[in-house]
A and B are shown apart, each in its own frame.
Chain A
Amino acid sequence: MTRFIAKRVLQGILVLLAIYAVTFFLVAATPGSPFSTERAIDPVILKQIEAFYGYDKPTSERFVTSLVNVLNGEFGPSAVYANRTVTQIIAESFPVSLKLGSLSLLLALGIGIPAGIVAAVKRNTWLDYVPMSVSMAGICLPTFVMGPLLALVFGLILNWLPVGGWFGPEFVILPTATLGFYYAAYFARLTRGGMLEMLNQDWVRTARAKGVKESTIVWKHCLKGGLIPAITFLGPALAGIISGSFVVETIFQVPGLGQWFVRAALNRDDFLVLGLTVLFATLIVIMNLLVDIVQVALNPRLKYD
């Protein structure tokens, strides 16, 4: 197991290096620069700005410098927001997204997985039809429809909750619900599918022939295997959900990380783009590693190698 993890960590580092290099050169090859604006800038000042950010040097040299900096944990200054470093921006907004994401994920797992199990066990009854119709709607309704709908009903009509901002516990509810239900819908369908596959296996008949109770069949015989599809989806979902959803954060004015992904790209904020890419890629690599470990733990036919 230690060897497996060490190997996967090494692989992950290589993947991250590759991603960093590709992103860096793509950004560098994009026409324009972070400093081109609509207003004309004095060429002398522009030269100074470029010199300050290291843009007067050749791309390959910049790559080496920036890579060394990143390896030292220093992502550099924002190329657009003066006096703010990339690390500062991430440090301010990531915890917000992390909080929103973790709560949404808890909601998604807490609703989605039980609903999927119940739907599979009681298939073709209303306990199956109702949750599955709701989850189909949940998947089909994009968050930019669901979000304003919730804001309209609970914020403006019922006046129970604030519709935007991030100032206290009550501000967390609507964005969490919007994001959480969306993922809950996915988890419900994946869990139902996984459980159904398990419940149709021959060994379930064997267990029944032994006189085992139906509840034991679900929990002991089917749950492990039935959760595998949901867990496979959990890895990428987790990385996406905790690094912030641009749509949900924009709708509810949440000062999270999601908005920065868009702003960094639009502003040609090279350092921020790179910083965010590294963060997101690292999350994906870690989550996938965790998912792989859990999968081997659940499925005895898989081995760490």
Chain B
Amino acid sequence: MALLEVDDLTTYFHTRDGVVRAVDGVSFTVDRGETLGIVGESGSGKSVTCYSLLRLIPEPPGRIERGTAMFDGRDLLWLSRSELRKVRGKRISMIFQDPMTSLNPYLRISTQLIEALQTHEDISHRDALKRATAALEEVGIPEASKRVTRYPHEFSGGMRQRVMIAMALITEPDLLIADEPTTALDVTVQAQILEIIKQRQNDLGTAVILVTHDLGVVAGTCDKVLVMYGGREMESGTAEEVFYAPRHPYTRALQKTIPSLQAKGQELYTIPGLPPDVSKPIDRCAFYPRCPYPKTGKPAGERPQLEEITPGHCWAACGYCDSDAPIETVLARADEVVDDALPVEGETPA
């Protein structure tokens, strides 16, 4: 049985301007020790998916509407508050996007590092402090015994993210959720941080959910990939399959945006248009308005069903575009496409 089995996870935000369907029926599994990458552009629901698992979304306005997230035989989405607290930080830990704001500037690093230990384990202050120092050493912070009592502002961004990793893994959790752990960091530090996560994962056998908008990162670190768009799953499968044989037009377009895969001197490819407005119900493929592929029919009034191409490799089969067309011809007409795709009947352009 998988360590985490998420089925039909649906999180809406009930705001004054309407219902924002941030996550709309997403399913995935994570096995022990495995790395799942969740990819998508801003607003695709990646982070909300993660926050929903630990129920960290602000409620209200957020609400988990339906779905299950079976973790070790228990449904995370419907645990009681006190049961949930026993899971948070002990069985499942989290690293956040911005290390500059995710550490409390009023408390020493040591206080924050040992907090999870003291919350979940019966441990003396001295032993906890020892483990905190060791944890800092393990993520490559020099002079850990001296720096453990410092405050967050005395660390650089990359060092703070190392502290966050040490803090998340100090209880040796079964699952680590890393929500864009490198987005806010210098490019030079990004690779180091991913390397540390990978290394600690190997040491501890922790499963990792890595949220990112960088397909390149996914290819290098993940076993499985889930591509999200407009709060929905577009494609999922092993990293190899999704990366080398992408099926969904969105995955293909996303792949085209990786600068290093393009010839030098060529203009960088960007997906035309804007992410969908998820505060209105979308009764077709969420990517349809921006899809650069030639349309073969009118989109029906229903969401595309997931279709399995090879075992474990799924895509939201839309069926209203000729997704077998060669990508070069598609890109050639990409710019005009947006113009004739946007004013679909009953839809106002963003």
Contact = CB atoms under 8 A, between A and B. Distances in A.
Interface of A: 201-203, 205-213, 220-221, 224-225, 298-301
Contacts of A209: 54, 56, 88-89, 93-94, 96
5 contacts: A203-B101, A206-B102, A210-B116, A211-B88, A213-B85
B96 A202 contact: yes
Interface of B is mostly: mixed
B277 interface: no
Contacts of A208: 54, 56, 88
Interface in B151-196: 151, 153, 164, 167
A212 B167 CA distance: 13
B268 interface: no
A209 B106 CA distance: 18
Contacts of B112: 206
A221 B85 contact: no
Given A221-B107, A299-B106, A211 B116 contact: yes
Nearest to B93: A209
Given A210-B115, A210-B119, A211-B87, A205 B106 contact: no
A300 B167 CA distance: 20
A69 to B, nearest CB: 48
Interface of B: 54, 56, 85-90, 93-94, 96, 98, 101-108, 112, 115-116, 119-120, 151, 153, 164, 167
Contacts of A213: 85, 119
Nearest to A198: B106
B85 A211 contact: yes
A189 B112 CA distance: 29
A202 B85 CA distance: 18
Given A224-B106, A300-B106, A300-B153, A212 B119 contact: yes
B6 to A, nearest CB: 18
B93 A202 contact: no
Contact of B106 (A206, A210, A212, A221): A221
B87 A225 contact: no
A213 B116 CA distance: 11
Contacts of A207: 104, 115
Contacts of B96: 202, 205-206, 209
Contacts of A211: 85-90, 116, 119-120
B194 to A, nearest CB: 20
